[in-house]
A and B are shown apart, each in its own frame.
Chain A
Amino acid sequence: MNDLTNVPHWYLSLGGLTLEFNSETLIMSWLVMAIIIAFGWLATRKLTFLPGPWQTLGEVMVSAFEGLVNDALDEGNRHYFPLIITIFLFVWLSNMLGVIPGLSEPTKDLNTPLAYGILGFFIAHYAGIKTKGIKAYLNEYIQPMFFMAPLNIIGELSKVVSISFRLYGNIMGGSIIILVVSDLVYGLVLPPLLNAFFGIFVGTIQAFVFTMLTLVYISVQTK
């Protein structure tokens, strides 16, 4: 049960400043990145008209997300599509890692979802300013009345908080439940079922929710 609060650390001293890294999160994120790069290489290595198995898998994913992005974004903003599908692949594979014994989800560390939430926030606002112009963009903050401006700003910032804590809470919650129940039943029968539900099912849904919300934030800003 001590696993709950035990975080492995790496320390790095830079000119008097000590940086602290969560080594588990870093290694697992690199693992996810390696898998995505390997998959991208395999899927696009030999592009043919009659696709091989890896290319088929890649095409299925791209075409599934293309429709969603085309529904949400206007013609001029469709170039965010690669970003959206990359976020999905990263978050989804991160959530899946926890199912494999010995590995853990990088999304279990709040810093990972927060990094992606902040990334999505800046991209959405950049897209908004670029599409509408700075004047129309700023004008949205004083809707419906000028004194609502502070609340609108807090509301925008709270989107980052909500999107990242939602993913973190679900993944962390799943792993806590699995840990506690496994401890109670001495690892018999139940843990694989719980892994299937919280790891695969909830993990997939939350990865999709995270991606869709990033997409929706961009779409709301560019409307």
Chain B
Amino acid sequence: MAFSADIWVQAAAYLGAGFAIGFGAIGAALGEGYAAGNASRAIGKNPAMSGAILKNMLIGQAVAESAGIFALVIAMLLAFIGTEGAPLIKAFALMGSGLAMGLSAIGSGAGSGFPAAEACVGIAENPSTQGTLTTNMLIGSAVSQTPAIFGMVVAFMLMFIDWSGQPLWPGWAAVLGAGLAVGLAAIGSGVGSGMPAGAATAGIARQPSAATTIRTNMLIGSAVSQTPAIFGMVVAFMLMFIDWSTSPPWPTWAALLGAGLATGLSAIGPGIGNGFTAQEAAAGIARVPEASGPVTTTMLIGQTVAQSTVIYGFLVSLILLFIPREASEAMTAWVAPLSAGICMGFGGIGPGVGEGLAAAYTVNRIAKFHEEQSVLLTRVMLVGQAVSESTGIYSLIVALLLLFVI
């Protein structure tokens, strides 16, 4: 039985649809369950407010479901897309499309559960702030969906752009790598931008008079937590729009896949780490609103340093994308760049989270004692982060060894 390209593309579309909604349903379900659990806890604390808490929970869950709905849109489009006469590279683009959407929805779905849960608890503790809490929850949940939206944009591009201009080799790795880069990178940022939203919502319930300051800090913290996802999106765009027809198919395909994995994986850690830092900053400002200046500054410094591993990942991706390779079908020639990408990608996860935690506890302390300890604590934080970063640097060194020496 002979297979034409059409059938492979059709099969890949179904596979992509499965990836999209299969992965995409994970996060939204977690987030909504977390919100429901906390709503029950809140009603137990303050049964008189049960109606308002239930209403707030339903609104929060409806927003948290967005990421799942985005995944559903992509899955349905993939299931019904026309594939007549499509070139074989389209098969990989459609799989990449499903992966981009499915993976990127994991973090955002889980992240938008945090503000929904905290808003329910907040209404139980301080019923008079109900309106402000619901508004802040909506803004916070909506902002933490941004990484999933990046994934959706790339998924649409992979689905609808005409890929016949790209050669199958190494083009297939470029489109698949683009999907992986943005999908993986969005996981950490999605969770990370939900954390400050949750802390800010809880903070507003405790300190309603500082609502505007807290919300501004929440928006800054969430936006910085999304930077790793933006790195992933930039790499995805480069993979999609550079013309690969002049590069030798072997071993360029391995370099392209490696480039996607390096930034995608290494962005997970910094995204979550930045979220921890921003969470403590929002909570700290809610406790001591007058410390908002030093707290925001320390948060930004801590987050920027914690992002260094994704910057290493981005650097490795750029080397993999732009340094020309000689044509060679030897096994070492393609295993080395792929391994370099994977090595830097996984190596970036731990330091990103660790440095974010270091910055988080520093910010927490500075919020309490901002007048006397600010400078000392910032110094200690930077030293601690540098030490925690050393493992990320080891990964970078090994990646560079794999690329240039071996």
Which residues from chain A sit less than 8 Å from chain B, CB to CB?
Answer: 1, 4-5, 68, 71-72, 143-145, 148, 151, 154-155, 158, 161-162, 165-166, 169-170, 172-174, 176-177, 180, 201-202, 205, 208-209, 212-213, 216, 219-220, 223
Chain B, 142-166, CB within 8 A of any chain A CB: 142-143, 145-146, 149-150, 152-153
Chain B, 83-137, CB within 8 A of any chain A CB: 132, 135
B73 touches A169 (CB 8 A): yes
CB distance from A121 to the nearest CB of B (A): 14
Contact of A151 among B135, B150, B227 (CB under 8 A): B227
CB distance from B389 to the nearest CB of A (A): 17
Please tell me if B245 contacts chain A, counting CB pairs below 8 Å. no
B66 touches A144 (CB 8 A): no
Complex CA–CA separation, A133 to B405 (angstroms): 52
A154 touches B73 (CB 8 A): no
A169 touches B69 (CB 8 A): yes
Given A144-B301, A209-B139, A216-B139, residue A161 in contact with residue B153 (CB < 8 A): yes
A166 touches B149 (CB 8 A): yes
**8 A–B contacts from the bound complex (CB under 8 Å):** A1-B80, A4-B76, A155-B227, A169-B152, A180-B76, A208-B138, A216-B219, A219-B216
Contact of A176 among B72, B153, B233 (CB under 8 A): B72
Could you say which residues of chain B place their CB within 8 Å of the CB of A220? Answer: 216, 219-220
Chain B, 59-92, CB within 8 A of any chain A CB: 59, 62-63, 66, 69-70, 72-73, 76-77, 80, 82
Contact of A205 among B132, B138, B152, B226 (CB under 8 A): B138
A71 touches B212 (CB 8 A): yes
A155 touches B82 (CB 8 A): no
A144 touches B72 (CB 8 A): no
Which residues from chain B sit less than 8 Å from chain A, CB to CB?
Answer: 59, 62-63, 66, 69-70, 72-73, 76-77, 80, 82, 132, 135, 138-139, 142-143, 145-146, 149-150, 152-153, 211-212, 215-216, 219-220, 223, 226-227, 230, 233-234, 297, 300-301, 304
A72 touches B212 (CB 8 A): yes
**Residue on A with the closest CB to B136?**
A212
Given A161-B153, A165-B149, A177-B72, 8 new contacts (CB under 8 A):
A4-B76, A4-B80, A71-B132, A158-B230, A165-B152, A173-B73, A205-B62, A219-B216
CB distance from B400 to the nearest CB of A (A): 21
Could you say which residues of chain A place their CB within 8 Å of the CB of B227? Answer: 151, 155
**Residue on A with the closest CB to B146?**
A162
A158 touches B304 (CB 8 A): no
Complex CA–CA separation, A170 to B146 (angstroms): 13
CB distance from B290 to the nearest CB of A (A): 17
Could you say which residues of chain A place their CB within 8 Å of the CB of B212? Answer: 71-72
A223 touches B216 (CB 8 A): yes
CB distance from B332 to the nearest CB of A (A): 35
B153 touches A166 (CB 8 A): no
CB distance from B110 to the nearest CB of A (A): 17
Given A5-B80, A72-B212, residue A148 in contact with residue B139 (CB < 8 A): no
A154 touches B234 (CB 8 A): yes
Could you say which residues of chain B place their CB within 8 Å of the CB of A174? Answer: 69
B300 touches A162 (CB 8 A): no
Contact of A170 among B66, B77, B80, B153 (CB under 8 A): B66
Complex CA–CA separation, A151 to B143 (angstroms): 17
Complex CA–CA separation, A151 to B227 (angstroms): 7
Could you say which residues of chain B place their CB within 8 Å of the CB of A173? Answer: 69-70, 72-73
CB distance from A165 to the nearest CB of B (A): 5
Complex CA–CA separation, A209 to B233 (angstroms): 24
The 5 lowest CB-CB distance pairs between A and B, nearest first, are A173-B69, A162-B146, A144-B300, A169-B70, A165-B149
**Residue on B with the closest CB to A174?**
B69
Could you say which residues of chain A place their CB within 8 Å of the CB of B66? Answer: 166, 169-170
Could you say which residues of chain B place their CB within 8 Å of the CB of A151? Answer: 227, 230
Could you say which residues of chain A place their CB within 8 Å of the CB of B223? Answer: 155
A205 touches B63 (CB 8 A): yes
Could you say which residues of chain B place their CB within 8 Å of the CB of A208? Answer: 138
**Residue on B with the closest CB to A148?**
B304
Complex CA–CA separation, A23 to B152 (angstroms): 25
Given A144-B301, A158-B230, A162-B146, residue A205 in contact with residue B59 (CB < 8 A): yes
B230 touches A212 (CB 8 A): no
Complex CA–CA separation, A145 to B227 (angstroms): 14
Complex CA–CA separation, A216 to B215 (angstroms): 9
Complex CA–CA separation, A220 to B59 (angstroms): 25
B59 touches A176 (CB 8 A): no
B69 touches A170 (CB 8 A): yes
Complex CA–CA separation, A216 to B223 (angstroms): 13
Complex CA–CA separation, A174 to B139 (angstroms): 21
Could you say which residues of chain B place their CB within 8 Å of the CB of A71? Answer: 132, 211-212
A162 touches B149 (CB 8 A): yes
